[in-house]
Amino acid sequence: MQGSESGREPGATGGSGVDHEFLALELELAVFLRRARANSGEMAREVHPELEAAAYGLFVRLESAGRQRATDLAAYFGVGKATMSRQLRALEALGLVAREPDPADGRAFLVHLTEEGLARFRSVRDARRDRYVRKLADWDRAEVAELARLLHQLNASAEDLREPPPHSRA
């Protein structure tokens, strides 16, 4: 793999010997996250031109975790209930998500992707996966697997610091 788009070697910004690896990590993650935010916006608009970037993450979560309460989604994404309600109302108005009563609590609702929402999401996700295959064509499969393993480990470490939502529904 190559250095970052900054043109500097990872970690060449200084700091103590102990911090070198973490400086390199911070630099590369900053570039990666900037690109990820831009890509989320593009992918959300590919699902539907009126969607905000944050909507793509909702599709990913609902597709992987299944039916969820809006409060659990808000907790998962670290946003307020009002913000989540606004995002879900917009998706519902476009016919991409639907709500149904929670069988465990008739006062609450579970949100899920509609058939249309799921089909659009999967089409965009599959196209994104094809782009990854092309962009990483010169990588060994073992390198791709190692990157996936390390990203999983990083995500799991970050998840360990969070409290799970109290009412997750699969």
∠162-132-123 over CA atoms, to 5°? 85
In the chain, domain spans: 20-160
Give me the tens of pLDDT residue by residue for the chain, a chain 170 residues long.
444 444 445 444 455 566 888 899 899 999 999 999 898 889 999 999 999 888 999 999 999 999 999 999 999 999 999 999 999 999 999 999 999 999 999 889 999 999 999 999 999 999 999 999 999 999 999 999 999 999 999 988 887 665 555 555 44
Tell me the fold of 20-160.
Arc Repressor Mutant, subunit A (1.10.10)
pTM recorded for the entire structure: 0.73
Q: How many C-beta atoms surround the C-beta of residue 12 within 10 A?
A: 15
How many residues are recorded in the chain?
170
Q: What is the pLDDT of residue 89?
A: 95
